[in-house]
Structure 1
Amino acid sequence: MQNEEHLRYIQQIFDRYLAIDRDSLEQITKHLKLIELPADSCVLPYGTIAKKLYLLYRGSVVSCFMDESGKQYHKNIFLEGAFVGSTVSAMDRTPSQFSLTCIEASSMFEIDYTTFRALINTDGYFKDFYIQYLEKNWIRDKEEREVAIVIQEATHRYKSFLEAHPNIESRIPLQLIASHLGITPTQLSRIRKKLTIS
């Protein structure tokens, strides 16, 4: 990968968790491939075994569960800088329990899961990075989100979401934002109306 803008971007993403050295940056970038996907592209269909992990460069992706009746539940919205994929499916080689779909036209860096896992197992930087990544995203941030859904009033959650992601409403359908916040689209409509009036 020779594009300096891409190299800087990748370095910034890894540096958020743990400062990456030049050798480790070169190691990861030689395995990354930039792919372009139009809006509504399915990155990972339900029930398929995940073989890739992605680093979102431009665009947005939503993860969806489906119940036995076919009703969809939106799990997460991923924006630029997010790592996207079904790690459980890739680790266990089992069918993914959710799908990943591009909400907008998206660009992402793709890496084979087995290659990334080999880097974690052989390169001290990536092992330490992975620990930092898991602790931040799947312990601290996950716990904060779960507590917020139970304790925080919906208006407060919505305002915090907008502060963290300015202009998100022009990019992401409101029903996905509502689902991500753990409220109904009707509740979100009322909140937005109340905030507009006040």
Structure 2
Amino acid sequence: MEELINKLLQFGSLNPQQIELIKQHASELHVKKGDYFHEAGKIAKQVGFLTNGAIRLCYYGKGGEDFTRYFMVEGSFIVDLDSFYNEIPSSVYTEAVTDCSLIVFEKEDFQHLAGTIIAWNEIFTKIATQALSFKASASSVMLTQDATERYEAFLKRWPGLANRISLSSLASYLGITQSSLSRIRKNI
């Protein structure tokens, strides 16, 4: 729980009573490797804070092939904002690529905190802005670099993650085949 509080305090001030209230409205959740935190086609009803593990945002093509859009690691908030706020079905899956531990807020609890803690919405606006900036930066790398450069950028952005996830997930994220990824890894 302390990791969550420390993360929130990076984006705004909270007094001891507010911190206690946050702790009262949060719960722990464990998601096993291969299971989903959110599923496409369902409405996201939780905001998660990843304390251990890695999650990928992915979707599936018409032929059943999967595409990895992004990875989330420890210290990340996980939610499909559009689905959560607008109560529409999510378009992506958030799949645990390792066993994961999260601190979660059910929607009702999150809304209660937003109505009770004055700085709550401002804190989450700052968190969302930072996350969107980080994702935009990652997307520009994917569009402007060759496969080797994308892999090297991945290693810098998420140190150690390549050793924790499957080659197929990593290759999917990089937009290359597993055999191409194996060749790149061998040459680096």
TM-score by length of structure 1 reads 0.83
User: CA distance change for structure 1 residues 43 and 142 in 2, over 3 Å: closer, same or farther?
Assistant: closer
* Deviation of the 1:19 alpha carbon: 4.6
Q: How does 1:9-158 map to 2 (within 5 A)?
A: 9-138=3-132, 140-158=133-151
The percentage of counterpart residues that share the same residue type is 24
- Separation of aligned partners in 2, 1:110 and 1:94: 20
What letter is aligned with 2:145?
Q
Partner of 1:187: 180
- Separation of aligned partners in 1, 2:14 and 2:61: 41
What letter is aligned with 1:91?
Y
User: CA distance change for structure 1 residues 34 and 194 in 2, over 3 Å: closer, same or farther?
Assistant: same
Partner of 1:170: 163
- Separation of aligned partners in 1, 2:33 and 2:136: 31
What letter is aligned with 2:26?
L
- Separation of aligned partners in 2, 1:152 and 1:18: 36
- Separation of aligned partners in 1, 2:13 and 2:174: 31
- Separation of aligned partners in 2, 1:147 and 1:63: 17
Q: Specify every segment of 5 or more residues in structure 2 that has no aligned partner in the other structure, as ranges.
A: none
The superposition leaves residues 4-55 of structure 1 with CA deviations (integer Å, 9 ceiling, x where unpaired) of: xx2x211222133335443332222111101223222222233111111111
Please state whether the residue corresponding to 1:191 is helix, strand or coil: helix
- Separation of aligned partners in 2, 1:182 and 1:79: 20
User: CA distance change for structure 1 residues 145 and 116 in 2, over 3 Å: closer, same or farther?
Assistant: same
Q: Specify every segment of 5 or more residues in structure 1 that has no aligned partner in the other structure, as ranges.
A: 1-5
- Greater RCO structure (CA 8 Å; 6+ sep): 2
Please state whether the residue corresponding to 1:75 is helix, strand or coil: strand
- Separation of aligned partners in 1, 2:15 and 2:180: 47
TM-score by length of structure 2 reads 0.87
* Deviation of the 1:56 alpha carbon: 0.8
- Separation of aligned partners in 2, 1:162 and 1:69: 30
Please state whether the residue corresponding to 1:56 is helix, strand or coil: strand
Deviates more, 1:70-79 or 1:113-122: 113-122
- Separation of aligned partners in 2, 1:172 and 1:88: 27
What letter is aligned with 1:81?
G
CA RMSD of aligned residues (A): 2.1
- Separation of aligned partners in 1, 2:58 and 2:157: 22
Deviates more, 1:159-168 or 1:80-89: 159-168
